Structure 1
Amino acid sequence: MDIFAKNIESLKISNYNLASKILTFLNQSKLSFRVDENLNIYDSRKRYLYENKEQINQFASSILDGSKNYPFIFIYGIANGELVKNLSFKFKHIFVFESEIELLILALNIIDISEELKNYKIILLDPNALDFEIQVAMFFDHQDILEYLSLYKLFASSLYYKDFFSNEILKVNEICIKTADVAIRNADRTCYLPLLTYKQFLCNIPTMLENIPFQRLLNQRKNTFDTAIVVSAGPSLAKQLPLLKKYQNKAFIFCADGALSILLKENIKPDYVTNLDFSDWAINFFKNIPNLNDALIMLECATHPNVVQFLKDKNVSLVLRNKNLYMRYNLNDFGYIDTGTHVSHFSYTLALALGFKNIIMIGQDLAYDEKGNSHSNGYYYTEKSKEEYFSDTLEVEAYGGNKQIKTHIFWNDYRIKLEYLFACNQEVNFYNATEGGARINFTKEISFKNVCENLLHKEKPKFENLKPLTKNRSSKLIAKFFAKLKQDKQTCENLLNDAKALKEALDNILSKDIILPLEFLQNVHKNISSFNEILANNEFVQDEALRGIFAYRGYLISCAIRDTNDEREYLFAYIKAYKEWLKEFLEKLNTKYESILEALNTK
């Protein structure tokens, strides 16, 4: 197999769409760039990407000087591939942005980077791809990248790119900075919400195991009907209610909890009601509601226990998220699904899990209307959240694309997450029939009237009521769960002891009023690295409940990396930063430990 074929096969693993785009280009177009006898690339005007070999070395030295101790770097331009290949030995990952398909083709013909592509050491990204921002967001969400995102810096691989691709470089840089900001903001160092939901998940387990298993729902209903309508409580919902009532028997209706009372008031009965609130104020959405008959209330496994208890006698299923935090308990009958961080996301992923091919969206504004309303008429709390309206707002492209509209920073984060979800499921038709609010990419904007007339022709089927597990089966699973939890308790105690011992050692080292020799600091760094290795390979501590505190570890170490290029000074700053991190790590780990003790004591 020649170099190009090997590279393409490896690229299919890391970026299949880019590999396909390259092959399609080769079949349809001729190359305008050329390669000389020295394997240097030049364009149709004889402008070289590198004037000579020395330029490659100069750029390599410049990049290395500006990224000492960095775990990864970002480069615009693959050039002839030699620079990227040479640098790959210095970093865990190299992100390479290249918008010129011809240059990718030539580079992949010149130099073998197949192993680096296969192992994600070199990551090639096409800034012209429709889902480019989604790809960047996906990589930035990886733990080993997220930790050090504050070190983000974009390098150009040659003067050629600086001269002729300056606009493209600025655009890529802007997207990366914006995406990094979102990722860093979402990685809360306090771990408040993940640790809270972990505690609530442990509390909900017995109730979950006594209710309808998610897999029974899938076994009964998956791929039995094509079209679903997902109803959110945005300000545009009211105008869609007459049509929704007319067509309610011709599509399965997924209703966010906040829209439930609005639908019931219009005598519209949803098939599924979703909730994932970590606070118990959501009980108000379910108070004084009539019998939902066949509607299934879908709760996320970490929904507030008071909400779970309030609804436990209704037609309820608690669903495990598809995260390590929940999957490691092997309760497969009750999972798994990406419930996301807001209730409508849960509705979409539930509809996807049930095999719907057409998903119609209404009330999904994710923006304020012209009157400043944040929710629809009839929303339980109020149509307008004044506190939100005057803080943390920004302008985004509106539905239809012909103007800007005001949204909230959190809603904009939700929109980005939805776009990622939709981009990953492009075999499904997402019809945005909201007719208002923010534009959501990877959806088809269409009026609710038209999409109903085009798709909704036949009656939806009826299903028998789903049953929970037998008491015997449920009891066995509960016993199995608590046995695993006891193992977690012991693991947590061991980690707490190891972390305390390491912190005490670092306290002692840093308290000495002497200049510590380089060799000694290197040995301390090795000991820290060994502890990091233990943490990295421990499933209990890597279950994402402590994701934010690990991101904080990277932030502190990044500060040490930026502050100095001198190795001794860097190692001293690294050790000092790590000691500071251990203090917070111990605090968060102990919080998790207390949740385990509480769950075991209430068994």
Structure 2
Amino acid sequence: MNSILEKNIKALASGVNEPLALKLQNYKKSQRFVLNNKFNIYDKNFETFIYDNDFISEELNCSFDNFLAQTKHYPFICFYGIANALLIKNLTPYYKRIFVFESEIELLHLALSILDLSEELSSGKIHLLDITEEKVNIQFLILFDMKGVFEYLNLFELFPINSYYKKFHNETYQQTLNFALANITLLIRNLHYKLDVLFLVYDNILCNIPTMLENIPFQRLIAQRKNAFDTAIVVSAGPSLTKQLPLLKKYQNKVFIFCADGALNILLKEDIKPDYVTNLDYDDLTLKFYKEQDDRILNILAIGTNHNVAKKISNKIIILRDDPFYKNLGLNDFGYIDTGTHVSHFSYTLALALGFKNIIMIGQDLAYDEKGNSHSESFALGIDYESTANIQKIKCLAYGGEGEVLTHIAWNDYRIKLEYLFACNKEVNFYNATEGGARINFTKEVSFKNACETLLHKEKPKFENLKPLTKNRSAKLIAKFFEKLKQDKQTCENLLNDAKALKEALNNILSKDIILPLEFLQNVYQNISTFNEILNNSAFLEDSIGKALIFNRGFNTSKVLKMHLNDEREHLYQLILAYKEFLTFFIQNLKTKYEIIQKYHYQTN
């Protein structure tokens, strides 16, 4: 292995792209591609050079100019094909990030043997995506959801790096483009989540934190029960659940049962007592699931759970989400976990946090059954609760890998997020014993009977009841929280005042019926850049609301970048207009967040 390739592989293995590093390290060359002394590559299969053999420098220079012109001011650019990597290396000073999709491992091997890209790979300036990698979908979602990338998703284009890829790899290019656009759409859909819902969740959070601090700390659960048993069952309320209940009842003393709130009354009706019930719904509709309660059941609630539900439920733990916003609260005993966006996801992450090595899934259909039902019999909201929902229906691969089933776009998003979760926890065995619904990748499809007979042999242990903090300790933490809320109120006020002052200044500038000189516009935009830095570095904006606001900023900026304006004065003028539009949106929504804080602020006085 030459020293350049070794450095590049080491950079990939440092955590940026370990699967590709291992693949390159173990790769045995097929000799399909041959490198000549001009750094050109000959493809024996198609009997052609990747670049024109006589004019490689001219072609590279022309491509360099064309790509810069097509993506002027873009923060990132995406290529299909690595070629010899010379063009990519030359373009790195002009973009914050370059994403390269490639299907030929030998071309990646050759390119990384020619050029030292180790610094760019280590820093994240260049990202290589092997589109034949099993987990490329997961890698894509991670990379394009990064800070500095997600707000510009509307700029996504996938450029074949040269005519060789257009001519000889067009089918794979189209498949890659479709794959990328599907994931971009998913990310944008999540970022476009209705702000009114996010505000309801935020209101629940502020109301629930004092309740959380008066109940059992999550870390006490972890300390007492982590790694105490190997196997768990996660029960969801899909239409296939009914047929699994007799076997679940038979084995319930030999396995820990994690139950989505919607399946609770279904299990209790069959005299099955789950060990943990999870809930994260922001509205109080889920109160119907808790008509019957049992103190032997431990209720695990997300911090954004509806506050009326949280107050009514007994024997509970409320958990902070695993993201920077909540960690800034400094309430470590009560966090942290990735609750996801649907309740079964929460059950899986809870089981992972408790150290279970085998997780059996039942009722996880994520699809309608053959009768068009969305949920199991005895589901409190009705077996056809989502059957008439006004949401786009689509088809996906069925459980077992044969044929298709009808699902809807939200369920399909949930499925992709579950696949992401399972792929990131490869040391755990996920057994999909749903025996129906949609196929979920990164799981082992088995019959529920086989899973029970193979894995469930010994009685599960019993634990002593967990206790909350002392009243004195709880009171101190509540006081600490309200002090942090006071600080957040001040931060919110400062951001609002700065945003209003900047918007007023932009209004005054843009209202003038004169042609504004370039130097003046540059100074104005420098003020915008200064405010952007404040937003980018604000921990207060690291929650879901903040992310939605920042996405709106990028959305407005992207509309201007897509104009491809060559006149710098006009380009800056349009950017300032777009930023004023963003500020209107920002101020309106930040004011709503401020009003929610203000509602609870009286308790700090």
Q: With structure 2 as the length reference, what TM-score do the two structures score?
A: 0.96
Q: Calculate the aligned-residue CA RMSD, in Å.
A: 1.4
Deviation at 1:74, TM superposition (A): 0.5
Distance 1:293 1:542, change over 3 A: closer
CA distance in 2, matches of 1:475, 1:385: 42
State the secondary structure of the residue aligned to 1:546: helix
* Residue among 193, 201, 206 paired with 2:210: 206
State the secondary structure of the residue aligned to 2:541: coil
Q: Deviations over 1:509-538 (max 9, x none)?
A: 111111111221121111111110111111
* Residue among 277, 281, 300 paired with 1:298: 300
Counterpart of 1:170?
Answer: 174
Quick check: 2:100–2:129 contact (8 Å CA) kept in 1?
yes
Alignment of 1:518-557 (within 5 A): 518-557=518-557
Structure 2: segments with no counterpart, 5+ residues: none
Quick check: 1:221–1:354 contact (8 Å CA) kept in 2?
yes
Q: Deviations over 1:421-468 (max 9, x none)?
A: 111111111100000011111111111011111111111111111000
Q: Deviations over 1:472-516 (max 9, x none)?
A: 111111111111111111111111111111000100111111111
CA distance in 1, matches of 2:351, 2:246: 23
Counterpart of 1:461?
Answer: 461
Counterpart of 1:122?
Answer: 126
* Residue among 67, 71, 77 paired with 1:67: 71
Quick check: 1:372–1:389 contact (8 Å CA) kept in 2?
no
Which deviates more from structure 2 when the two are superposed, residues 82-91 or residues 391-400?
391-400
Quick check: 2:521–2:569 contact (8 Å CA) kept in 1?
yes
Q: Deviations over 1:562-593 (max 9, x none)?
A: 12422222211110010011011011111111
CA distance in 1, matches of 2:165, 2:74: 23
Quick check: 2:72–2:564 contact (8 Å CA) kept in 1?
no
Quick check: 2:367–2:374 contact (8 Å CA) kept in 1?
yes
Distance 1:391 1:336, change over 3 A: closer
Q: Deviations over 1:18-42 (max 9, x none)?
A: 101111114xx44432211122222
Counterpart of 1:417?
Answer: 417
State the secondary structure of the residue aligned to 1:69: coil
Matched, 1:3 2:4: yes
State the secondary structure of the residue aligned to 1:442: coil
Matched, 1:601 2:602: yes
CA distance in 1, matches of 2:206, 2:323: 15
Quick check: 2:540–2:546 contact (8 Å CA) kept in 1?
no
Deviation at 1:386, TM superposition (A): 6.0
Q: Deviations over 1:126-175 (max 9, x none)?
A: 10011111211222222321111111111111222112211111111001
Which deviates more from structure 2 when the two are superposed, residues 480-489 or residues 81-90?
480-489
Matched, 1:405 2:409: no
Deviation at 1:73, TM superposition (A): 0.8
CA distance in 2, matches of 1:515, 1:562: 23
Alignment of 1:443-522 (within 5 A): 443-522=443-522
Q: Which amino acid aligns with 2:221?
A: L
Counterpart of 1:383?
Answer: 383
Matched, 1:264 2:273: no
Quick check: 1:234–1:375 contact (8 Å CA) kept in 2?
yes
State the secondary structure of the residue aligned to 1:329: coil
Which deviates more from structure 2 when the two are superposed, residues 185-194 or residues 360-369?
185-194
Deviation at 1:115, TM superposition (A): 1.0
Q: Deviations over 1:81-110 (max 9, x none)?
A: 111011111101100011111111111111
Deviation at 1:292, TM superposition (A): 2.0
Alignment of 1:245-394 (within 5 A): 245-287=249-291, 289=292, 291-311=293-313, 314-385=314-385, 388=388, 391-394=391-394
Quick check: 1:195–1:546 contact (8 Å CA) kept in 2?
no
Deviation at 1:391, TM superposition (A): 4.0
Deviation at 1:541, TM superposition (A): 2.2
Q: With structure 1 as the length reference, what TM-score do the two structures score?
A: 0.97
State the secondary structure of the residue aligned to 2:498: helix
Q: Which amino acid aligns with 1:284?
A: K
Alignment of 1:156-167 (within 5 A): 156-167=160-171
State the secondary structure of the residue aligned to 1:25: coil
Deviation at 1:552, TM superposition (A): 1.2
Percent same amino acid at aligned positions? 58
Distance 1:544 1:384, change over 3 A: closer
Quick check: 2:396–2:406 contact (8 Å CA) kept in 1?
yes
Q: Which amino acid aligns with 1:218?
A: I
Counterpart of 1:80?
Answer: 84
Q: Deviations over 1:249-278 (max 9, x none)?
A: 111000000000100111111000000010
Alignment of 1:67-146 (within 5 A): 67-146=71-150
Deviation at 1:389, TM superposition (A): 5.0
Alignment of 1:229-248 (within 5 A): 229-248=233-252
Matched, 1:15 2:25: no
Counterpart of 2:226?
Answer: 222
Deviation at 1:539, TM superposition (A): 1.0
State the secondary structure of the residue aligned to 2:99: strand
Q: Which amino acid aligns with 1:385?
A: Y
